[in-house]
Amino acid sequence: MTAPIPAFAFESSTTRVPDEERAALIADPGFGRVFTDHMATVRYSSEKGWHDLKIGARRPIQTDLATSVLHYAQEIFEGMKAYGRPGGGAALFRPQANARRFQESARRMAMPELPEEIFLESVRALVRTEIDWIPPGEDGALYLRPFMFASEVFLGVKPADEYLYAVIASSVGGYFKGGSPAISLWATREYTRAAPGGTGAAKCGGNYAASLIAQAEAIRNGCDQVVFLDAIERRWIEELGGMNIFFAFDDGSLQTPPLGGTILPGITRDSIIRLARDLGVTVREEPYSIEQWQADAQSGRLTETFACGTAAVVTAIGQVKTTEGSFAIGGQSVGPLTQRIRAALVDIQRGRAEDPYGWVETVV
Ligand code: PLP
Ligand code: COI
C-alpha cells in the first residue's frame, strides 16, 4: 500500500519578485545567494506530532533568544537539486535517498524522524511552485535546502519537544567560482572533522561549524577546500568540508574512502560507484593514506582525483598542499575518467541520457 500524499496548504506570496527582476537574478546566480519567493514549513511537537504543513511566502521568522537550537545546535539539513528537463518541466535526483538520510541524521541528533512522504511532498510542492526560478545554462539548478531545528524555548540540555522543519530554495550555478579547471586542497594536520562515535555521518550544522576554522586555513594557504584526515592516526583521507573524494589510477580503477561513521554517505558518491561499475570500472571502497596519495601522484600511479557532491557535482582536484609541502595531480586539469564519470552522471540528472536506475523523478 502506498502512503497517502500529505496535503500542504498553499498561500501565495503577495511580494513575488517581478519576472524581469527574477530573470536578472538567475542569469548568473553563483551559489546560495539568490532565494525564491516561497518556502515549505512543517511543525512538530511531542503532543501533536507533525502538523501545520504549509507552502507560503518565504519570510523571516521571529525567534525567542532562548530557542534551543541557538544554544545546543540541534539542527540537521539536506542538499538536493531540481533540474530543468530538456522539453520543459523539472526533475529531482534520488529524492528518497535524501529523505532517508534526513531520517538517519535526525536519529543521530535525537530528533523526531520526518516521515518520508512529508519530506518528498514538501520538496515536490516547492519545486512546482518555484519552477520559474530554475536558472538557464549547463550548471543551473534549483538548490533545495530542507532543514529542521529545535524550536523549543528552553535552556535545559535535552532533546527538544518542538521542532520546525522547512525547505527553502535557491537558484544556483556552479559551486566554485574562478573558472579554474581543477581546485586545490589544503590537507589539515591540526583539525579533524569527525571521530568514531561522533556525528560525522550525520548532516548536522555542527559538523560544518567545526570545519570552518580548517576551511579558513585552506583559504589563507591559497586553497579552495580543506581535505580532512581521520581523527585517530591522522593519515587516512576522509572527505572535504562539503564533498566526498575519489582517486583514479593508471590501471583505470577508482578508489574512495569507505563509509564507517565518520564521513557523510554522499548520494553522489553512491551514484558514482554504481555508474562507474556499470561502465566497467573497478571501484574500491578502501582507506587511502595521504602519504600514499602523494607517493602515487609523484610516481604517476595516481592519475586523477575528484570531489563530488550535490553542490560540487564532480570537480577535478589539481593540487594538494600540506604544512610539509605540496604535490600536483595529473595535468592539474580535468582528467579523462573524471570527465567520463561527470558526463554520465550529469546526463542522467539533466534528462539527456536514459535513466536505467530509476533515479530521476519528474515533478512538473
Ligand atoms: N560530504 C559532505 C560533508 C557534504 O556536505 C556533502 C554534501 O552534501 C557530501 C559529502 C556529498 O553528499 P551528496 O552527494 O549527497 O550531496
Ligand atoms: C551539498 O552539496 O548539498 C552540501 O550540502 C555541501 C555544501 C558545500 C553546500
47-68 per-position pLDDT tens digit: 999 999 999 999 999 999 999 9
Condensed to tens digits (0 to 9), the pLDDT of residues 6-19 reads 899 999 999 999 99
pLDDT grade, residue 298 (50/70/90)?
very high
Distance CA 214, CA 186 (A): 8
Distance CA 161, CA 233 (A): 39
Domain ranges of the chain: 9-172, 183-349
Dihedral through CA 217, CA 220, CA 224, CA 230, nearest 10?
-20
CATH fold for the domain made of 9-172: D-amino Acid Aminotransferase; Chain A, domain 1 (3.30.470)
Q: Flag whether pLDDT at 179 surpasses 80.
A: no
pLDDT grade, residue 4 (50/70/90)?
confident
pLDDT grade, residue 358 (50/70/90)?
very high
The arithmetic mean of pLDDT across residues 166-177, rounded, is: 96
Q: How far does the chain reach from its first CA to its final CA, in angstroms?
A: 24
Question: If we measure between CA atoms, which residue out of 3, 169, 199 comes closest to residue 78?
Answer: 169
Q: Flag whether pLDDT at 286 surpasses 70.
A: yes
Ligand 2 nearest-atom number relative to CA 32: 9
Centre of ligand 1 from the C-alpha of residue 9, in Å = 31
Task: Please write down the HEC assignment for all residues of 75-105.
Answer: EEECCEEEEECCCCCEEEECHHHHHHHHHHH
User: Which residues, including other chains, have CB under 8 Å from residue 136's CB and lie 6 or more apart?
Assistant: 26, 27, 84
pLDDT grade, residue 144 (50/70/90)?
very high
Residue nearest atom 3 in ligand 2 by C-alpha distance: 79
Condensed to tens digits (0 to 9), the pLDDT of residues 78-95 reads 999 999 999 999 999 999
- Extract the C-alpha cell encoding 245: 573524494
| pTM more than 0.85 | yes
Question: If we measure between CA atoms, which residue out of 129, 135, 131 comes closest to residue 40?
Answer: 129
Q: Flag whether pLDDT at 189 surpasses 80.
A: yes
Q: 261: Cβ below 6 Å to ligand 1?
A: no
**146 and 167 Cβ atoms separated by less than 8 Å:** yes
Q: Flag whether pLDDT at 266 surpasses 70.
A: yes
For 183-349, CATH number? 3.20.10.10
Q: Flag whether pLDDT at 243 surpasses 70.
A: yes
Query: What's the whole-number average pLDDT of the chain?
Result: 97
**54 and 61 Cβ atoms separated by less than 8 Å:** no
Q: Are β-strands 313-322 and 325-328 bridged in parallel, bridged antiparallel, or unpaired?
A: antiparallel
The confidence score (pLDDT) of residue 187 equals 98
**305 and 329 Cβ atoms separated by less than 8 Å:** yes
Q: Flag whether pLDDT at 282 surpasses 90.
A: yes
| Mutation test residue for ligand 2: of 310, 313, 314, the one with most atoms within 8 Å of CB | 310
Residue nearest atom 12 in ligand 1 by C-alpha distance: 266
The confidence score (pLDDT) of residue 237 equals 98
Q: Flag whether pLDDT at 215 surpasses 90.
A: yes
Q: 79: Cβ below 6 Å to ligand 1?
A: yes
Q: Flag whether pLDDT at 165 surpasses 80.
A: yes
Q: Flag whether pLDDT at 30 surpasses 80.
A: yes
CB neighbours (10 Å) of residue 190? 9
**Closest ligand to the CA of 264:** 1
The confidence score (pLDDT) of residue 1 equals 58
Alpha helices in 256-318 (DSSP H): 267-278, 290-299
